Amino acid sequence: MIIYWDKKTNSKNRIGQRVKELRKAHNLTQKTLAAKLQLAGYDVNDLAILRIEQGTRFVPDYEVVALAEVFNVSCEYLLGLTDAPAK
């Protein structure tokens, strides 16, 4: 498992801000996003989504992939490596 840590912001993940932006752009609540991930087979609840967005939760690589699939964006976009969201 790979754990991403943003040393510049002292955040435990690099994707929190993008997840929040994408969730709001798709008009999803944290609970609804968690439900979508649960339907895809991931054990994520709304508290986990909140902690991801706040940067207080580590996000394993398989969850980065899952979130990218839910939002139909690339993992690189979620990680802030590109500003182009398309896959």
Superfamily of domain 13-77: lambda repressor-like DNA-binding domains (1.10.260.40)
Q: What is the pLDDT of residues 48-87, one digit of tens each?
A: 999 999 999 989 999 999 999 999 999 999 998 898 877 6
Q: Where are the domains of the chain?
A: 13-77
Q: Where would I find the beta strands (DSSP E) of the chain?
A: none
Instruction: Please give the mean pLDDT across all residues of the chain.
Output: 90
Closest CA to 4 of 85, 66, 84, 62: 62
For 81, what's the count of Cα atoms within 13 Å in the CB-facing half-sphere?
A: 9
Percent of the chain whose pLDDT exceeds 90: 69
CA distance 12 to 45: 18
Residues in CB range of 75: below 8 A, 6 or more apart = 64, 65, 68
Q: How many CA atoms lie within 13 A of 35 on its CB side?
A: 5
Is 83 in contact with 77 (CB distance < 8 Å)? yes
